Chains A and B, each alone.
Chain A
Amino acid sequence: MRFNTAPAPHLAPTASTRRIMQWVLVAMAPGIAAQLWQFGPGVLINLALAIATALLTESAMLRLRAQPSRAGLSDWSAVLTAALLAVSLPPIAPWWISVFGALFAIVIGKQLYGGLGYNPFNPAMVGYAVLLISFPKPMTAWLPPTDLAATPLGLLDAWSAIAHRAGPAGSSFDALAMATPLDTLKTQLGLGRTMDEVQSGPLFGALAGKGWQWVNLGYLAGGLWLLRRGLIAWQIPAGFLAALGGLSLGFYLLEPQTYPTPLFHLFAGATMLGAFFIATDPVTASTTPKGRLIYGALIGGLVFVIRSWGGYPDGVAFAVLLLNLAAPTIDHYTRPRVYGHPG
């Protein structure tokens, strides 16, 4: 009898890139749900706009590059990039923010480098950084969390805010928006207030900012699930959170009136999203076990530096992008000892 030959191993593979991307998207669900609950349905509109733009852009780029577009689209990486960008955007950011961000992320951040696997920078963060630098005002205008909002926005209200920059029932759009707790902290401390005064404001909750603490808990839950399933390496989030927590604890103990508590840092802004979903992007992160720990720790450290002394309220996107630059070097110097070689 004749048989077709094939190279070993002969077992059917158990993992696939597409499945990994899909699981990461699933793991984002608790965080997205918390955002939906705390900041209204704007996040869903952002997601829809960004994902649609990313898929169209990816498809067009693959065609331009004469690559098989079905295989390229079916890996779900464009969807994940768009989702990571969309959940980082203010829930009432004008529609062109999501569209432009996703477009830029896919074209410049990913496809111009050669597509999936070849991009040196996290595409979602490339998109985010460009938006933050180019359009600082709409990028920092967040909604107040649900229990502070006078009138919570429905889906239609959110849509009219995003599409035409109009508030509900003719109210002014600008009245909707509000600074984030990290932003407020930075401005108020800059005005010479003490930490106690700042944190007694309505925006601040038990752990960190109201609303934001729930969102961070959501992404933490999803991240822990990813860890459990072995879809991300523990070293990056562990390094990230340990460095951010450690640094903020040190400074808080030294000057509690100038620096917020470590809990505030860990549950504010994009901390958990960054630690479990953004810094862990395999393509652009360090890949050796020791390297991942260093890589994560340096991002966590940089987030603290940017938040404390930098020009931006949060710092996850810039910290990740800057460490993307260093990942190959970190990998080079953290190669594990190979069997049979001296230590």
Chain B
Amino acid sequence: MMFTLHRFHGGLHLDAHKEDSSLAPLATAPVPPRLIFPLQQRGGQNAEAVVQVGDHVRKGQVIARGDGPMNPPIHASSSGIVSAIEPRPLPHPSGLADLAIVIDTDGEDLAPAPEERRDYRQLAPDELRRIIFEAGIVGLGGAAFSTAVKTDPGHRAIDTLILNGAECEPYITCDDSLLRNFPQEVLEGARILMRVVGVERCLLGIEDDMPEAIRALREVQQTGHYAGIDIITVPAIYPSGGEKQLIRILTGREVPTRGIPADAGVICQNVGTAAAVFRAVARGEPLIERIVTVTGKGIKHPGNWLTRIGTPIADLVRYSGGYTGTAERLILGGPMMGISLPSDALPLVKAANCVLVTGRSETTGPKQALPCIRCGACADACPINLLPQQLYWYSRADNLQRAEEYHLADCIECGCCDYVCPSHIPLVQYFRAAKSELVAKQRERFKADHARERFEARQARKEREKQERAEAAQRKKAALAKPDASEIQDAIARAKARKRPPESAPTADAAPDESPPAREPAEN
């Protein structure tokens, strides 16, 4: 079958380094002595512990709940005793601490009796979404966005589900490993997601440097239950696994600026998420494990591990034979966008796809940044078609308005510009700083506008009340003074004239016409 692929601007051909970890077969990581579950699994939103210190928990039991659909529950990934609920460092470069549930495992791995198998075809999309939410499923591609929320098309018309198997970051092979070992779970998950989203078409994008995964998927697809699902190989160009890029490659559509994929008629899910959805819906299993790649020249035996969420990185490194003598930098995620961590005592959260420990030869030393020579290599590489050299100029000059005009907000922080810059300027850092400043400014502006509107509305109301009081007093006075008939007539006429436009007369707490209408709270 012919399928037309579309190109996105820029991108990079990077050395993949995938064979380091993909040659070893997938292994199951043992239950570590201690599991750690940060209550903050995704930036900014905290779940609340529903267990107490001393409680015995079973595998799969809910231990923390969030406050809304964006914040799915967290489950214990093995059985044991809750030994602490206390601040622990987060997997974040700052090493900042936040509340975490610590479970000392008992090695029994006790689980409740398995739920009955359910036929998802009997279940309505809303019910499926509830199951997905209750199973604690978030996007496993890295952003950890609530899958229940993301699969809800709302009022938007969706015609395509995209499954993202384009693992474009070098070194990472967890999706490759998943597709090779569990192709059926992924395709079954795709069918469930198609039903949840309400579409007949699913495009599974996979990079052409994963031949075994492609073969495994096609073999399962041969069985014939997968109508509407197309497996499409895409060229291995970084960042073709970026959501916006993959949507463009597979459909030719673009996610509008400030929009979401659903605005382009598409919902995009990682292949790992699809497998998790299948397990949750068909087997009643919550999200308590995922495949994590452990690789890099700093690791003795690179490979992929089926790992329990909450496993400390140090344990997973130990299972991989430990560090080599050249281990230099610990990175969570890939080398282009991953975050560098200060310590391996940190636990793996749901979004953790790769532990990369670079050797001395692989990583950059402290680079001396030279002045920008406007060579434009960054603009050639940018997958969004931005002009990073201009954005850099404006970001440095604190000219946020210009940076905004040049669409700073559209930067996806993929690192392409940074990587190709011959002057070794840390462009992404500049853009990230300028972006957060821009967001802060916008929030301030919004707050100021809001405060001003409220103040003006209040002033207008006071003014009106004063006037009404004065008029009431006048009417009273007029009524008290014994007026003759003509004066009474006049007063009635005056009162009528004043009352004439009753539709436009403002009620006590609505803003008067001349002041701007109170604004709806912004969606974001």
**B383: A residues at CB distance < 8 A:** 339
Chain B binding surface, main DSSP class: loop
**B356: A residues at CB distance < 8 A:** 10
Q: Which of B254, B314, B379, B410 interacts with A287 by CB under 8 Å?
A: B379
CB pair B422–A17 under 8 Å, yes or no, is yes
CB pair A336–B330 under 8 Å, yes or no, is no
* B65 interfacial by beta-carbon distance below 8 Å: no
CB pair A3–B344 under 8 Å, yes or no, is yes
**B314: A residues at CB distance < 8 A:** 1
Contact flags A4-27 to B (C-beta < 8 A → 1, else 0): 111111111111110110000000
**A335: B residues at CB distance < 8 A:** 387, 406
CB pair A16–B337 under 8 Å, yes or no, is no
A272 CA to B339 CA in the complex, in Å?
A: 47
* A283 interfacial by beta-carbon distance below 8 Å: yes
CB pair A10–B244 under 8 Å, yes or no, is no
Q: B254's closest neighbor in chain A, by CB?
A: A340
CB pair A11–B342 under 8 Å, yes or no, is no
**A7: B residues at CB distance < 8 A:** 93, 340, 426, 428-429
**A331: B residues at CB distance < 8 A:** 387, 390
Q: A342's closest neighbor in chain B, by CB?
A: B256
Q: Which of B256, B356, B374, B375 has the most CB of A within 10 A?
A: B375
**A135: B residues at CB distance < 8 A:** none
Q: B367's closest neighbor in chain A, by CB?
A: A13
A residues 100-135 touching B (CB-CB < 8 Å)? 115-118
Q: Which of B244, B371, B421 interacts with A118 by CB under 8 Å?
A: B371
Smallest CB separation, A84 vs chain B (Å)? 15
CB pair B373–A287 under 8 Å, yes or no, is no
CB pair A8–B335 under 8 Å, yes or no, is yes
* B350 interfacial by beta-carbon distance below 8 Å: no
Smallest CB separation, B498 vs chain A (Å)? 51
Using a Cβ–Cβ cut-off of 8 Å, how many residues does chain A contribute to the interface with B? 42
Contact flags A310-343 to B (C-beta < 8 A → 1, else 0): 0000000000000000000001000111111100
* B259 interfacial by beta-carbon distance below 8 Å: yes
* B4 interfacial by beta-carbon distance below 8 Å: no
A17 CA to B367 CA in the complex, in Å?
A: 12
CB pair A8–B336 under 8 Å, yes or no, is yes
A287 CA to B387 CA in the complex, in Å?
A: 9
* B251 interfacial by beta-carbon distance below 8 Å: no
Q: Which of B170, B259, B340, B428 interacts with A5 by CB under 8 Å?
A: B340
Q: Which of A11, A19, A336 interacts with B385 by CB under 8 Å?
A: A336
Of B138-146, B283-291, B357-365, B451-459, the stretch lying at the interface with chain A is B357-365
Q: Which of B373, B406, B419 interacts with A9 by CB under 8 Å?
A: B419
Chain A binding surface, main DSSP class: loop
CB pair B390–A116 under 8 Å, yes or no, is no
* B133 interfacial by beta-carbon distance below 8 Å: no
Smallest CB separation, A227 vs chain B (Å)? 13
**B379: A residues at CB distance < 8 A:** 287-289, 336
CB pair B384–A338 under 8 Å, yes or no, is yes
Given A1-B323, A336-B387, A338-B407, the answer on whether A9 and B342 have CB atoms closer than 8 Å is no
CB pair B428–A8 under 8 Å, yes or no, is yes
Q: Which of A1, A12, A115, A288 interacts with B364 by CB under 8 Å?
A: A12
Contact flags B415-459 to A (C-beta < 8 A → 1, else 0): 100111111101011000000000000000000000000000000
CB pair B419–A116 under 8 Å, yes or no, is no
CB pair A15–B374 under 8 Å, yes or no, is no
CB pair B342–A3 under 8 Å, yes or no, is yes
CB pair B323–A339 under 8 Å, yes or no, is no
CB pair A9–B93 under 8 Å, yes or no, is no
Smallest CB separation, A294 vs chain B (Å)? 14
A1 CA to B367 CA in the complex, in Å?
A: 24
CB pair A338–B423 under 8 Å, yes or no, is no
A288 CA to B388 CA in the complex, in Å?
A: 11
* B400 interfacial by beta-carbon distance below 8 Å: no
Contact flags B328-354 to A (C-beta < 8 A → 1, else 0): 111100011111111110000000000
Q: Which of A12, A115, A331, A339 has the most CB of B within 10 A?
A: A339
Q: Which of B327, B410, B429 interacts with A339 by CB under 8 Å?
A: B410
CB pair A10–B358 under 8 Å, yes or no, is yes
**A287: B residues at CB distance < 8 A:** 374-376, 379, 387, 389-390
Q: Which of B344, B366, B376 has the most CB of A within 10 A?
A: B376
* A282 interfacial by beta-carbon distance below 8 Å: yes
CB pair B93–A5 under 8 Å, yes or no, is yes
A292 CA to B323 CA in the complex, in Å?
A: 49
Q: B330's closest neighbor in chain A, by CB?
A: A3
**B420: A residues at CB distance < 8 A:** 13-15
Q: Which of A2, A283, A341 interacts with B343 by CB under 8 Å?
A: A2
A-contacting residues of B (Cβ < 8 Å)?
Answer: 8-9, 14, 93, 170, 244, 248, 254-257, 259, 314, 323, 327-331, 335-344, 356, 358, 361-364, 366-368, 370-377, 379-380, 383-387, 389-390, 406-407, 410, 415, 418-424, 426, 428-429
Given A8-B340, A17-B373; 12 other pairs, CB 8 A cutoff: A4-B328, A5-B329, A8-B428, A9-B336, A11-B335, A13-B420, A115-B371, A282-B376, A287-B390, A288-B376, A335-B406, A340-B255
